[in-house]
A = this chain, B = another copy of it.
Amino acid sequence: MYDRQEFISKIVQKAETKLVLLVMDGVGDLPVNGRTPLQAASTPNLDSIASQSELGQTIPVFPGVTPGSGPGHLGIFGYDPVKYQIGRGILEALGTDVEVGAKDVVARANFATVKDGIVVDRRAGRPATEVSSKIVELLNSSIREIQGVRVSFYPGKEHRFVVKLTGDDLSDELTDADPQKEGRPIEWSKPLTSSANKTAEIVNELMRRIRDTLKNEPKMNFALIRGFSKYPHLPQFPEIYKLKAAAIATYPMYRGIAKLVGMEVVKTGSEIQDELESLKKCWNDFDFFYVHIKKTDSYGEDGNFEAKVKVIEEVDRLIPELIKLNPDVLAVTGDHSTPVLMKSHSWHPVPLMIQSEFSRKGLNSKFDEFECARGTLGTVQALDVMSLILAHGMRLEKFGA
C-alpha cells in the first residue's frame, strides 16, 4: 500500500505563494436550540470569505472516531494519524514545554494516594497546582540520578507532572507503572523487549525512591507513571512540502506538535490579537503559516456556548487584518469538533473552507457546519487538507502525463 504523504511529496514543487492554515480548535459543533456556535455567531468576515471559497467537511480519522489533539493535528498536517501514533508522554511533555532530547524518555505521572500497597486514589484528591508543584520541587531536589541516568520532574496541572529520564540506552518499550483503576495494588513497569530491561529497573527504582521521599505526605504519597515515550521521528514538514513553515500558537501542546513535524515556532503572546501581530511580523520570513486558536475548543469542553460564540466573533473581527496580508491561500478549519453539548472532543465532521484565486466559489455564503456539509469540496479526510492547500498554492505538479 502506498503512503499518501509520500505520494504527495513526490509531486510537490516550489512556488512563490503564501499559505495560511487557520485552525480553530474544536470549532465544529452540534445545534443547541437549533443553532451551532458557528451559526449563532455574527461572522460577516468569515462569511465573506466563504462566498469566495470552496467549502467542505473533513473526517479527522475515520467516521465515528474521536481524535485527541495529536491525531487531530497530524491529520490536517498531512500525516496519517493511524500510522503516526504519538505517545502520551511526549504530548504531555510538549504540553508543559519540556525540552526532549533524542535519547530521552519522557512519561506522564500522577500523584496518587496509596494505602497498604493499594492505590486508593489515582489523583491524590486532585491537589491544587500550587500545592502539587511544591511536591514536584521536592522530588527534583531529592532524586537527581538513578544508575547514572539523570531524572527530572516538571509540574503539570493539579495531580499531573512529567518525568524525564536522560541517559544512554534508554528505551520506551515499557508497560505503564499504573494499575489504571483504584482499589488495585501498585503496578511495576515491565520491559516489553529485552533492550528495555535497564529502563524498567530504573523506573521501578524511581517509584521506590518517590515512595520513600513522599512517605510522610498525607495524600500525595506515591506516583503512577505511564505513557513512556521517546521523541518520535516524523517526516519533516518543510522537507516533504518544500515549505518554510511557521507555527503560531498560544498553548505549548500545539507548539510542541508543530515542532515535532519540523515547523519553526514563532514567539507570540496569549491572545488571538497577539497571534495576528506575530503573523504580521514574520510574514516575510516564511511561506506557510499555521495559526492555532485554542479557545474555541476550551469553551466547547467547558460547555460554554456563549463564550465559544464570542471567540468565533473575535477571530472574525481579526480576519480583515489577516486578509490585508494578501495570502494566496487561506484555509480555515478545525482539528476536530468539540460540541458544547458533549463537553468533549467528538467524531463529527469538521468545517473546512479554502480561499484562493482558484476556489470553486459561489455555492455558499456562510461558514458553518451545514454549509460545509453541502460545499463543493464534499466530505474529505483531514489528510486531504494539506494536498488541497498546496494545490491551491500552485505547489503540486501534474501527476502523470
Contact = CB atoms under 8 A, between A and B. Distances in A.
A63 B31 contact: no
Interface in A316-353: 339, 341-342, 344-349
The oligomer's copy count stands at 2
Interface stretch (A194-202, A292-300, A301-309, A374-382): A374-382
A373 B370 contact: no
A227 B401 CA distance: 10
Query: Interface majority SS on A: helix, strand, loop or mixed?
Result: loop
A92 B401 contact: yes
Given A62-B7, A347-B391, A380-B379, A31 B68 contact: no
Interface stretch (A79-87, A131-139, A282-290): A79-87
Contacts of A362: 31, 34, 370
A71 B397 CA distance: 14
Interface in A363-391: 363, 369-370, 373-380, 384, 386-391
A363 to B, nearest CB: 5
B64 A387 contact: yes
Interface in A237-290: none
Contacts of A349: 360, 376-378
A360 B379 contact: no
Most chain B CB within 10 A, of A339, A341, A378, is at: A378
A340 B148 CA distance: 68
A358 B339 contact: yes
Interface residues of A, number: 70
A388 B64 contact: yes
A400 B63 contact: no
A63 B378 CA distance: 10
A71 B379 contact: no
A398 B342 contact: no
A70 B59 CA distance: 28
Contacts of A387: 62-65
A384 B62 contact: yes
A400 B360 contact: no
A358 B370 contact: no
A63 B358 contact: no
A396 interface: yes
A156 interface: no
A371 to B, nearest CB: 10
A85 B85 CA distance: 31
B358 A363 contact: no
18 contacts: A30-B361, A64-B390, A64-B392, A64-B396, A65-B387, A65-B391, A66-B396, A70-B401, A81-B399, A86-B401, A345-B398, A347-B391, A347-B396, A349-B378, A363-B374, A373-B375, A373-B378, A379-B380
Given A347-B396, A373-B375, 9 more contacts: A31-B361, A31-B362, A57-B378, A64-B386, A65-B396, A68-B399, A341-B358, A369-B376, A373-B374
Interface of A: 1-2, 4, 7-8, 11, 30-31, 34, 57, 59, 61-71, 81-82, 85-86, 88, 91-92, 227, 339, 341-342, 344-349, 357-363, 369-370, 373-380, 384, 386-392, 396-401
